[in-house]
């Protein structure tokens, strides 16, 4: 293969980065130029990522690098997972850019929006094609700053506050991740994606310390509870195209980083003394995923802003992905189905969640409203939007024939396999949390489309029109992807799931199981019926008692933990780290809450580890 083709991963990341500078200089040429040029650059990037994927499929892993100094250089290494998810990122970005052209017509600062959007695309792609932790970290931080401009686009008080929370959380998470990278560099002498458990233990460094740092670093972007607080703040205030990109794609960089650590860096051969670390880490992530998916779904149900519900939904769906990742690591050589399910759910979520956020954007574009209590009766005014919403709802809730059903079936099979292999009753309870969360997902999604499109209109919608032809084409493509994956389940798994599983040290039997998963048996398909039965009960309870449900402020993680920590840090900085001043000015209640929550986290951590 020609040497310049090996450098294709560099080109994939650099084209949108350079393109953002080009877009920023077109403001003098008219309002429509930034949108059109951004669409062109997005399409070129999509073409390059597709070419990269075809090369990886044909020739294997692509590697290249740029020499540096002081032992640090930039390296790119693209395998099947990185190559295909780059295509997904570029495809969704292109669709969101097409949607944004009409959505942003009457918005201010269009050039800044499109320039920062395309720069965020390049830095996001850089994460997925990075060849080592240092390169990944560099693009990870570039993505953080670029996405900040998307969050604060409206420049109102609420958006600026949300942007600050996002930036604080992301910067602290980035510094924590950098600490983990320094430790790994010290222990092994490099930052390549290679097993490092043995190097850590030989240097007397606890792998648990590095794992906690990694969770702190990647968990913020992944929306992992309790590191999730920026998500429900940022998504409701950002423009709909930005919310679609942040929720569907950017948070996947956190999951991708955790995947590289759990399935490469923190691995050991089964039977070795270090394998217990890997298995315990996997068990911990099953719990992290279960808590994240369940709590995210609960918070989605009790909210009434469409975009806020979808933001909590993203947290919940990331829980599914973390749940699958943890199950695969816990199962060791038997974890092929869990890995394939988690990987495919990341792909599915990228499509159906961006689909849902863009549909929310279409609703607010035509009605100016996102509060479910002020909507209603739009089915006759926006029948196309209603039909497309039902397709997206079928995908996220796992209805047979829709994309989410395929990945959720694989994850469900995997947790049941874990129970059958080990017989731990707690694994069966985790499976029940998985099933119940599916019902809660169906409940909040049904709540959205029923309150938006059905019932009596709560306002006069006489001037409301249905979505434009451009938006119909965008949503039609989303629907095609969702239905193709859903109806061609086994073919999609053979095409996308098998290569991902075969690249990891799973047993031949575990990988072979992926070729004959019983998707269309009544046992598997009945899961959707269970989910909607749970949803019906939940919606009935909401109808009867919803007005009485209030989450007290003191129960929020922001009030219990982040607020006290932030105020304490501010006091420390303002007083020059004077212990006497801190003792006088820091509120006793803040300290007590911080200590109590930290103690509870420690107790849960020790219980799960045991």
CA distance 29 to 20: 16
Task: Report CA 591 to chain centroid distance, whole Å.
Answer: 32
Q: Are 52 and 78 in contact (CB under 8 A)?
A: yes
Place of tokens 């929020």: 556
pLDDT, tens digit, 9 for 90 and up, residues 387-446: 999 999 999 998 999 999 999 999 999 999 999 998 889 999 999 999 999 999 999 999
pLDDT reading at 596 higher than 50: no
Query: Which phi and psi angles does 224 have, rounded to 5°?
Result: -70, 130
Phi, psi of 305, rounded to the nearest 5 degrees: -95, 125
Q: What is the pLDDT of residue 609?
A: 45
pLDDT at 581 over 60: no
Given this model, what pLDDT does residue 32 score? 56
- Range in 69-78, 183-192, 400-409 the model is least confident about: 69-78
pLDDT digits (tens, 9 = 90+) for 297-317: 988 898 888 888 999 999 999
Going from the C-alpha of 331 to that of each of 277, 324, 572, the distances in angstroms are 13, 11, 45
Q: How far apart are the first and last CA of the chain?
A: 50
pLDDT of amino acid 87: 95
Predicted pLDDT at 603: 43
Position 605 scores a pLDDT of: 43
Largest CA distance in the chain: 72
The mean pLDDT value of the chain amounts to 85
Question: From CA 511, how far away is CA 82, in angstroms rounded?
Answer: 20
Is 233's pLDDT higher than 70?
Answer: yes
Residue 206's closest CA among 188, 185, 183, 189?
A: 183
At 54, list the tokens.
């075809």
Percent of the chain whose pLDDT exceeds 90: 40
Between 124 and 24, name the one with better pLDDT: 124
* High-pLDDT (> 70) share of the chain, %: 87
Q: What is the pLDDT of residue 107?
A: 77
Q: How many residues are present in the chain?
A: 610
Sequence-ordered list of residues with C-beta below 8 angstroms from that of 68, at least 6 positions apart, any chain: 74
* 162-166, 367-371, 600-604: segment of lowest average pLDDT: 600-604
- Sequence-distant (6+) residues with CB within 8 A of 27 are 33, 34, 111
- What Cα–Cα distance (Å) separates residue 43 from each residue in 93, 204, 463, 490? 9, 49, 34, 29
Name the pLDDT band for 4 (thresholds 50, 70, 90).
Answer: low
* CA separation for the pair 30, 131 (Å, rounded): 40
User: In terms of Cα–Cα distance, which of 154, 155, 151, 87 is closest to 121?
Assistant: 87
Q: What is the mean pLDDT of residues 99-123?
A: 86
Is the per-residue pLDDT at 599 higher than 80? no
Whether the CB-CB separation of 246 and 163 falls below 8 Å is answered with no
- pLDDT class for 269, splitting at 50, 70, 90? confident
**How many angstroms from the chain centroid is the CA of residue 174?**
17
pLDDT of residue 162: 85
- Provide the CA 510 distance to its chain's centre, in angstroms: 27
Residue 49 pLDDT level (bands cut at 50, 70, 90): very high
- In contact, 128 and 259? CB cutoff 8 Å: no
Q: Name the burial class of residue 585, with classes exposed (0-12), middle (13-18) and buried (19+) by CB atoms within 10 angstroms of its CB.
A: middle
Q: Please tell me the pTM assigned to this model.
A: 0.89
- In this structure, the number of other CB atoms found within 10 A of the CB of residue 10 comes to 17
- Higher pLDDT pick, 545 / 478: 478
Closest by alpha carbon to 112, among 21, 219, 13?
Answer: 21
d(CA 538, CA 498): 37
CB-CB neighbours of 418 under 10 Å: 26
Average pLDDT value for residue range 34-48? 89
* pLDDT, average across residues 375-382: 87
- Classify each residue of 303-331 as buried b or exposed e, where b means 16 or more C-beta atoms within 10 Å of its C-beta: bbbbbbbbbbbbbbbbbbbbbbbbbbbbb
Query: Which residue has better confidence, 454 or 524?
Result: 454
State the Cα–Cα distance between residues 584 and 263, nearest whole angstrom: 48
The predicted model gives 329-347 an average pLDDT of 91
> Contact, 133 vs 179, CB < 8 A?
no
Give the pLDDT score at 550: 67
pLDDT beyond 50 at 604: no
Rounded Cα distance, 106 and 32, in Å: 11
**Where along the chain do its domains lie?**
1-131, 132-548, 553-609
Encoded tokens for 403 = 């994309």
Is the pLDDT score of 590 beyond 60? no
């Amino acid at each position: 293969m020609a040497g310049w083709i090996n450098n294709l991963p560099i080109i994939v990341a650099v084209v949108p980065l350079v393109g953002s500078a080009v877009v920023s200089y077109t403001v003098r040429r008219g309002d429509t130029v930034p949108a059109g040029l951004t669409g062109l650059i997005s399409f070129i990037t999509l073409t390059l990522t597709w070419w990269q994927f075809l090369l990886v499929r044909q020739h294997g892993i692509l590697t290249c690098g740029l020499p540096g100094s002081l032992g640090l250089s930039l390296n790119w290494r693209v395998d099947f997972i990185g190559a295909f998810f780059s295509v997904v990122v570029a495809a969704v970005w292109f669709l969101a850019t097409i949607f944004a052209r009409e959505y942003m017509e009457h918005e201010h600062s269009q050039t800044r929006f499109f320039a920062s959007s395309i720069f965020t695309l390049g830095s996001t792609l850089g994460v997925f094609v990075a060849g080592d932790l240092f390169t990944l970290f560099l693009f990870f931080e570039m993505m953080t700053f670029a996405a900040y401009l998307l969050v604060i686009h409206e420049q109102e008080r609420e958006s600026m506050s949300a942007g600050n929370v996002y930036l604080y959380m992301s910067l602290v998470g980035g510094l924590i991740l950098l600490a983990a990278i320094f430790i790994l560099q010290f222990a092994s002498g490099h930052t390549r994606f290679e097993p490092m458990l043995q190097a850590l233990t030989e240097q007397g460094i606890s792998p648990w310390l590095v794992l906690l740092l990694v969770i702190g670093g990647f968990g913020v972007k992944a929306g992992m509870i309790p590191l999730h607080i920026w998500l429900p703040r940022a998504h409701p205030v950002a423009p709909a195209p930005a919310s679609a990109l942040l929720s569907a794609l950017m948070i996947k960089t956190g999951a991708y980083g955790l995947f590289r650590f759990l399935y490469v860096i923190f691995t050991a051969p089964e039977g070795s003394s270090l394998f217990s670390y890997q298995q315990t880490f996997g068990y911990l992530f099953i719990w992290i995923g279960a808590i994240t998916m369940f709590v995210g779904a609960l918070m989605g149900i009790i909210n009434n802003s469409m975009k806020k519900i979808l933001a909590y939904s993203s947290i919940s769906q990331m829980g599914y992905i973390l749940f699958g990742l943890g199950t695969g690591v816990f199962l060791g050589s038997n974890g092929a189905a869990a890995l394939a399910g988690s990987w495919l759910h990341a792909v599915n979520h990228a499509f159906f969640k961006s689909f849902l956020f863009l549909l929310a954007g279409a609703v607010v574009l035509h009605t100016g409203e996102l509060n479910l209590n002020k909507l209603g009766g739009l089915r006759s005014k926006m029948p196309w939007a209603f039909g497309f919403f039902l397709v997206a709802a079928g995908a996220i809730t796992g209805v047979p024939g829709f994309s989410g059903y395929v990945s959720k079936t694989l994850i469900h099979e995997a947790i049941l396999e874990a129970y059958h292999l080990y017989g731990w009753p707690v694994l069966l309870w985790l499976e029940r949390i998985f099933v119940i969360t599916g019902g809660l997902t169906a409940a909040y999604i049904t709540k959205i489309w029923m309150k938006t499109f059905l019932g009596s209109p709560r306002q006069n919608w006489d001037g409301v029109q249905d979505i434009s032809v451009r938006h119909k084409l965008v949503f039609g493509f989303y629907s095609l992807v969702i239905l193709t994956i859903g109806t061609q389940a086994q073919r999609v798994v053979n095409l996308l799931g098998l290569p991902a599983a075969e690249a990891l040290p799973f047993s031949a039997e575990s990988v072979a199981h992926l070729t004959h998963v019983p998707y269309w048996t009544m046992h598997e398909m009945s899961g959707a019926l269970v989910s909607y039965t749970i949803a019906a009960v939940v919606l009935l309870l909401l109808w009867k008692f919803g007005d009485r449900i209030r989450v007290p402020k003191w129960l929020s993680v922001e009030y219990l933990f982040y607020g006290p920590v932030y105020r304490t840090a501010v006091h420390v900085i303002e007083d020059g780290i004077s212990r006497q001043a801190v003792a006088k000015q820091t509120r006793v209640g803040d300290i007590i809450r911080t200590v109590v929550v930290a103690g509870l986290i420690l107790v849960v951590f020790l219980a799960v580890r045991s």
